[in-house]
Amino acid sequence: MVTVPAMIDEVRVAVIGVGNNTSALVQGLSFYRATGSAVGVSRPRIDGLGVGDVRVVAAFARSDGKVGRDLHEAIFAAPNNFPRIEAGLPPAGVTVQRGLVDATEIDRVAEALKGAEVVLYSAPSGRPEIALAYAEAALAAGAAFVNTTSDPVARDVALVRRFEAGGVPLIGDDLASQFGTSVLHHTLLRLLEARGLTLTSSYQVNLGGTEDFRNLVENPNTKKQSKVNALGSDRVQIAPLGYLPHLGSQKIAHLNIEAQGWAGTAVSLDVRLQVHDPSGAAGVNIDLIRLAAAALRSGRGGYLPEAAALLKSPPGTAV
Amino acid sequence: MVTVPAMIDEVRVAVIGVGNNTSALVQGLSFYRATGSAVGVSRPRIDGLGVGDVRVVAAFARSDGKVGRDLHEAIFAAPNNFPRIEAGLPPAGVTVQRGLVDATEIDRVAEALKGAEVVLYSAPSGRPEIALAYAEAALAAGAAFVNTTSDPVARDVALVRRFEAGGVPLIGDDLASQFGTSVLHHTLLRLLEARGLTLTSSYQVNLGGTEDFRNLVENPNTKKQSKVNALGSDRVQIAPLGYLPHLGSQKIAHLNIEAQGWAGTAVSLDVRLQVHDPSGAAGVNIDLIRLAAAALRSGRGGYLPEAAALLKSPPGTAV
Amino acid sequence: MVTVPAMIDEVRVAVIGVGNNTSALVQGLSFYRATGSAVGVSRPRIDGLGVGDVRVVAAFARSDGKVGRDLHEAIFAAPNNFPRIEAGLPPAGVTVQRGLVDATEIDRVAEALKGAEVVLYSAPSGRPEIALAYAEAALAAGAAFVNTTSDPVARDVALVRRFEAGGVPLIGDDLASQFGTSVLHHTLLRLLEARGLTLTSSYQVNLGGTEDFRNLVENPNTKKQSKVNALGSDRVQIAPLGYLPHLGSQKIAHLNIEAQGWAGTAVSLDVRLQVHDPSGAAGVNIDLIRLAAAALRSGRGGYLPEAAALLKSPPGTAV
Amino acid sequence: MVTVPAMIDEVRVAVIGVGNNTSALVQGLSFYRATGSAVGVSRPRIDGLGVGDVRVVAAFARSDGKVGRDLHEAIFAAPNNFPRIEAGLPPAGVTVQRGLVDATEIDRVAEALKGAEVVLYSAPSGRPEIALAYAEAALAAGAAFVNTTSDPVARDVALVRRFEAGGVPLIGDDLASQFGTSVLHHTLLRLLEARGLTLTSSYQVNLGGTEDFRNLVENPNTKKQSKVNALGSDRVQIAPLGYLPHLGSQKIAHLNIEAQGWAGTAVSLDVRLQVHDPSGAAGVNIDLIRLAAAALRSGRGGYLPEAAALLKSPPGTAV
């Protein structure tokens, strides 16, 4: 017997920030709706919600090149460089609104967020006061808040309690990638250990061409340090990030692992990984959005532990 | 309070076959005893038995260049090409005996195996009748039998029952490697799948310079087919093995994985692995020997399920 | 002062064989004519002839899937797998004719070749009598003959004399690639030598997915041997070719070079090359066609020494 | 008839700086004298002078850990990390002297240089006044001066004239490597161009673990800029140098080249190079020393044009 699915209400999302990650998300939503494909999707359904059930209904940006334009045009404005997935993307019917520049505008934004179930905060990291202002606006509007930046929002205990009290989900902080250097390096090191090999040395070099990369190169210490810690060994060295504009939204990583096996004989492993960072972000954002919507709809507020594996800095980790 | 370890009786091993794998094992035993190092060892203790508690007390070979020589000389005779780990290896005090060439010699070999607790069968694959004859000799001598070849021994149900009845362990068949192309490729494919990526295509090329490699190149089908099956996807292609003599006992593998992430965007992974195959064998043999000895000492005969993870074709898999 | 170019008569080419190499050539001619681009072209002009001055006016094939179809359709028929460069390729207006199957058909083909200036012989290697029959037909039709296969045609001294006497150019044998493993490997080995490094060992693995590759894999010795000789050192080892269908018309090569520098210290070089073999062929064919046409127009018959650098087996090399 | 070589007077060299490059040179001289090998040597004879004809007769350093020790001990003092090539290196019989710290000491050093034919200046770059002071001392002592640093010495026109007048050779500035990333990258780009491919983009990442590397990382601009210029294309990007201490004196470079062939089809090239930088320096220094000695012995002073190919910044290039 074929089960007839109940009609599902679309998940209405507001995106804050119209950078590469938003471009990948928005283009992908169009791709999946048009093709019905499930390629590259980690979880086809989350609480019954499919990828094609998510719709962007509002978008906010700061740059003059994006504000006032249709979302499907704005995602290609400089310095965005995520490629065009398909020719002939029709207008989104969503005009990019001007984002807030300080906390006095929370009310205006909260008003504009009415009708959205999930606010995906996808602006550049490094402006925690802006992130918090958007979180306040989302709470006021009754929309779940997903913080993809490294700014501490879900690690703010008092704020989480207020979302909890309001029955509004709060997810964050700092998006993990669907498939990136860290998980690959970590998996290989763990495999070596499981097989009884002894790590001699290891390095990792990351090269990329996005604005994110440029920002990290100009302010390298935080990111680099967090990677070393994450890999848990002083035998692993992370080379400085390389900003190579011609790579566009591609990231290329070179990994090397030198180890010793039986009687100290050498084992060498060299890996080259090539991915699109914004795709890795979109592939996780689509899950966070659905987790948030499902929780909101069932009345669960505050932090969602089921999101932890998709985040680099969930509540409880150091700010 | 410091616990004084009980004096442990050394595990007395007879090795059948004095090829590269035996060279790696024998040199490693000397290395670990001399240095006290635990580098590259998967399990420092198995039922209390350390790596340094294993001693080779008898060795059998077929070639004139090895029979009659001290084991520590014979391991460097052609066509062996596993490198010399340390200068100044002293004589082993074990003279290589002539191995059996047909089943009529079982009694002679059984006599020579007296005093050994474990028989490590490390001859070339492809002569099942010889493997079975050695197993008979081991059973007659009351020594546990470890079959590292792909010839079916532990998959012979009747034989396993006889070992069980005699209280003598029987382990096999076909040694897995401590760290080889298969486990690496498998781990990477599984990681991709876990992260929701869709496999587009993948290949694997293996290059090596040992006699084992030469034999596989001249008779490629079995091995190659088993690899494809093991990786479980018709999108994974295994290129023909390449016998490159100058590589000696090193194996070099090139792996490529092409996948699709969010909205079909490309993910590419290229890996180069360099290992010494005989080290990978020795690192597993040292565990099988200790599992066999521990079982024998505690009176457990027949197949040992705890060895399954270290074998490619344990009982129950196809012959 | 701007020089007004004289109007150039188009070079009229008949292609024998409608495989991947012809697909690349034909699609490329359309691409260059449409775009005016000079990307990837080695010599924009040869004796005044540009890439866009070449036009295919006749095509011959043997398979039922190609004969009788428009050339721009036939180039995509199986087993061809060179990708479609541009959407919307219009019909060529050239219908693929049935090629000859034995020497009795020379007259029919010669008749069909009338009007062509250059016959590009791009059928599979290994049928020298067919190659010679086409050469006879070309000579009879007064069209220059370019043999891209390894079958000996331009190495047939008597035939060259007859072309010379007839004032008809004859170019061959065996097409070099515009950019392939051999030239890359050779260049790197020469660089090492020029810098005073001592070669320890080197290997090369080639993987591909075309019918050409499949044929070479099934009949490997000739090709492999010629590569070793070409690289001129017994320290260079060529692994067996790997036919991996999913690669399509891409070729992937892995090269390794191990050398010794000052005081024997190690230098290692690992290279991965990814190219489309048919593009490498087309990039050379376009030059051979123009060399042949220019010679024909100026009345020079017989072998053209200026083509030697573009061939693997020019006259004078072993048959 | 066998020619009996005339007895050759050894070339007496004073080295300024006892870092990794001097370690490689000194150990190599011992290696070549002991083994008679010619492995890794670019030019076995220069004007009759062999590698084994060069002898270090004096050495100068600044650090307390090196001054006063035998040269064969001092070359292993921290932060030097070039590996020990051979066990059992006997004492050199040369005690490291304290180097000069300002120009007032020129006379003392000139006195100490008496008896040397060639002064090899191999101290860290970035102290031009010290380099010039040593050059003055060498001129006063009548010894040829070889400046391996990037400090301008041979680009000082007046100084070259004074060396010329004195009949004393002056070679510099800035040592090229025997085999490094630049020459490899340059060769590959040139090969692509020669074959008619169109460069799309290219990158280069250099990783190393020496003090030289650390200095360059802390002061990156000069070096990086010079590399871009040297490769002559704005499509080539040089990633920041990565200082990874565990690499020791090894340098690892990752190169990528993306190009377009026929009709714009993609060609990709990925290269990994692993070398010992100090070996690359020693392999060139041994030639410069012999060129300098040969010129001095034949009375040729001033700059030696035959050295230009071994230098990055010979006279006439920008200071």
| pLDDT average, residue stretch D266-276 | 98
List the single range of A185-189, B142-146, C122-126, D255-259 with lowest mean pLDDT: C122-126
pLDDT of residue D38: 93
| pLDDT average, residue stretch C306-317 | 94
Sequence letter at residue C132:
L
Domain shared by A36 and A137, yes or no: yes
Which of A201, A246, A254 is nearest residue D205 as measured by Cβ atoms? A254
Residues of C in contact with D178 (CB under 8 A): 195-197, 261-262
The residue of chain C with its CA nearest to that of D198 is C40
Give the per-residue SS3 of A93-146.
CCEEEECCCCHHHHHHHHHHHCCCCEEEECCCCCCHHHHHHHHHHHHHHCCEEE
Strand, helix or coil at D182? Answer: helix
Inform me whether the C-beta atom of residue A104 falls under 8 Å from chain D C-beta atoms.
no
Shortest CA gap B275–chain C (Å): 15
List the single range of A128-137, A206-215, B141-150, C131-140 with lowest mean pLDDT: A206-215
Residue C231 contacts residue C197 (beta carbons within 8 Å): no
List the single range of A155-169, B63-77, C200-214, D17-31 with lowest mean pLDDT: C200-214
Residues of D in contact with A272 (CB under 8 A): 254, 270
Q: How far is CA B228 from the centre of its chain?
A: 21
| pLDDT average, residue stretch A152-158 | 97
Look-up of token digits 């989104």: A92
Predicted confidence (pLDDT) at residue C227 exceeds the cutoff of 70? no
| Residue from A81, A199, A205, A234 to probe the interface with D (highest D Cβ count within 10 Å) | A205
Spatial separation of the C-alpha atoms in residues D17 and C90, rounded to whole Å: 71
Tell which wins on pLDDT, B173 or A222: B173
Taking an 8 Å cut-off on Cβ atoms, the answer to whether B270 and A272 are in contact is yes
Domain of D236: which CATH number?
Answer: 3.30.360.10
Sequence letter at residue B57:
V
pLDDT of residue C233: 79
Taking an 8 Å cut-off on Cβ atoms, the answer to whether A272 and B276 are in contact is no
Residue B310 contacts residue B288 (beta carbons within 8 Å): yes
Spatial separation of the C-alpha atoms in residues A271 and A257, rounded to whole Å: 9
Question: Is residue C98 a part of any domain in this protein?
Answer: yes
Check whether the bond before A173 is cis (ω within 30° of 0): yes
| Cα angle, residue B108 at apex, residues B107 and B111 outer, rounded to 5° | 85
Sequence letter at residue A245:
P
Spatial separation of the C-alpha atoms in residues D260 and D199, rounded to whole Å: 6
The residue of chain A with its CA nearest to that of B309 is A195
pLDDT of residue D224: 46
Inform me whether the C-beta atom of residue B254 falls under 8 Å from chain C C-beta atoms.
yes
Predicted confidence (pLDDT) at residue C1 exceeds the cutoff of 90? no
Question: Is residue A3 a part of any domain in this protein?
Answer: no
Shortest CA gap C200–chain B (Å): 9
pLDDT of residue B312: 93
| pLDDT average, residue stretch D145-168 | 97
pLDDT of residue A240: 86
Residue C199 contacts residue C189 (beta carbons within 8 Å): yes
pLDDT of residue C225: 47
Domain shared by C93 and C165, yes or no: yes
**pLDDT bracket for residue B224 (50, 70, 90):** very low
Instruction: State both tokens at D309.
Output: 């190919």
Residues of B in contact with C244 (CB under 8 A): 203, 237, 239
What's the structural domain count of chain D? 2
Predicted confidence (pLDDT) at residue A197 exceeds the cutoff of 90? yes
**pLDDT bracket for residue A286 (50, 70, 90):** very high
Instruction: State both tokens at B113.
Output: 């195996």
Domain shared by C233 and C262, yes or no: yes
Give the per-residue SS3 of B133-168.
HHHHHHHHHCCEEEECCCCCCCCCHHHHHHHHHCCC
Residue B118 contacts residue B11 (beta carbons within 8 Å): yes
Residue C275 contacts residue C184 (beta carbons within 8 Å): no
| pLDDT average, residue stretch B204-231 | 75
Instruction: State both tokens at C46.
Output: 């040869």
CB atoms within 10 A of CB D64: 10
For the stretch B126-154, pLDDT in tens is 999 999 999 999 999 999 999 999 999 99
Query: A41 phi and psi, to 5 degrees?
Result: -100, 125
Beta strands in chain A (DSSP E): 11-16, 45-46, 49-50, 54-61, 96-98, 118-121, 144-147, 169-171, 198-208, 236-238, 242-243, 250-260, 266-276, 302-303
Q: Among A31, A37, A46, which Cα is nearest to A286's?
A: A46
Taking an 8 Å cut-off on Cβ atoms, the answer to whether A244 and D203 are in contact is yes
Q: Among D127, D140, D135, which Cα is nearest to D170's?
A: D135
Question: Is residue B271 a part of any domain in this protein?
Answer: yes
Check whether the bond before A70 is cis (ω within 30° of 0): no
Domain shared by D265 and D286, yes or no: no
pLDDT of residue B229: 53
Q: Which residues pair with C55 in a beta bridge?
A: C12
Shortest CA gap A128–chain B (Å): 28
pLDDT of residue C240: 86
Spatial separation of the C-alpha atoms in residues C25 and C282, rounded to whole Å: 5
User: For the sheet containing B169-171, what is the strand order?
Assistant: B96-98, B54-61, B11-16, B118-121, B144-147, B169-171, B302-303
Question: Is residue D22 a part of any domain in this protein?
Answer: yes
Instruction: State both tokens at A29.
Output: 């939503």
Residue A139 contacts residue A165 (beta carbons within 8 Å): no
Spatial separation of the C-alpha atoms in residues C104 and D238, rounded to whole Å: 62
Inform me whether the C-beta atom of residue A266 falls under 8 Å from chain B C-beta atoms.
yes
Domain shared by C111 and C122, yes or no: yes
Q: Among A250, A240, A257, which Cα is nearest to A209's?
A: A250
Question: Is residue D318 a part of any domain in this protein?
Answer: no
**pLDDT bracket for residue C218 (50, 70, 90):** confident
Residue C276 contacts residue C206 (beta carbons within 8 Å): no
For the stretch A86-95, pLDDT in tens is 888 999 999 9
| Cα angle, residue B266 at apex, residues B263 and B270 outer, rounded to 5° | 155
H or E stretch covering C180:
none
Domain shared by B132 and B201, yes or no: no
**pLDDT bracket for residue C182 (50, 70, 90):** very high
Domain shared by B52 and B66, yes or no: yes
**Chains B, C: CB pairs < 8 Å:** 51
Cα distances from B232 to residues A90, B228, B237, D6, in angstroms, run 41, 6, 11, 72
Q: Among B45, B10, B13, which Cα is nearest to B145's?
A: B13
| pLDDT average, residue stretch B90-106 | 95
For the stretch D220-240, pLDDT in tens is 655 444 555 567 778 999 988
Strand, helix or coil at B219? Answer: coil
**pLDDT bracket for residue C216 (50, 70, 90):** confident
Inform me whether the C-beta atom of residue D114 falls under 8 Å from chain C C-beta atoms.
no
Beta pairing, strands B49-50 & B169-171:
unpaired
Question: Is residue C318 a part of any domain in this protein?
Answer: no
Strand, helix or coil at D97? Answer: strand
pLDDT of residue D311: 96
Domain shared by B150 and B265, yes or no: no
Taking an 8 Å cut-off on Cβ atoms, the answer to whether B244 and C272 are in contact is no
Domain shared by B283 and B272, yes or no: no
pLDDT of residue A3: 55
Q: Supply the mean pLDDT for chain D.
A: 93
Domain shared by C82 and C205, yes or no: no
Strand, helix or coil at C202? Answer: strand
Shortest CA gap B298–chain A (Å): 26
In DSSP notation, C252-317 reads EEEEEEEEE-GGG-EEEEEEEEEEEHHHHHHHHHHHHHHHHHHHHHTT--EE-GGGGGGBSS-TTS
Domain that holds residue B52: 11-176+279-310
**pLDDT bracket for residue B222 (50, 70, 90):** low
Tell which wins on pLDDT, C316 or A250: A250
Predicted confidence (pLDDT) at residue B225 exceeds the cutoff of 50? no
Which of B205, B207, B217 is nearest residue C207 as measured by Cβ atoms? B205
Domain shared by A54 and A124, yes or no: yes
Query: Touching D: which chains, 3+ CB pairs < 8 A?
Result: A, C
Predicted confidence (pLDDT) at residue B2 exceeds the cutoff of 70? no
Domain shared by C53 and C140, yes or no: yes
Q: Which of residues 200-229 of A touch D (CB under 8 A)?
A: 201, 203, 205, 207, 217
Shortest CA gap A4–chain B (Å): 26
Shortest CA gap B25–chain C (Å): 27
H or E stretch covering D88:
none
Question: Is residue C4 a part of any domain in this protein?
Answer: no
Predicted confidence (pLDDT) at residue B220 exceeds the cutoff of 90? no
Residue D262 contacts residue C178 (beta carbons within 8 Å): yes
Predicted confidence (pLDDT) at residue A232 exceeds the cutoff of 80? no
Instruction: State both tokens at A276.
Output: 């699109």
Spatial separation of the C-alpha atoms in residues B313 and B172, rounded to whole Å: 7
Domain of D303: which CATH number?
Answer: 3.40.50.720
Taking an 8 Å cut-off on Cβ atoms, the answer to whether A24 and B262 are in contact is yes
Which of A240, A245, A252 is nearest residue D240 as measured by Cβ atoms? A240
Question: Is residue C317 a part of any domain in this protein?
Answer: no
Which of B201, B235, B244 is nearest residue C239 as measured by Cβ atoms? B244
Query: D253 phi and psi, to 5 degrees?
Result: -125, 140
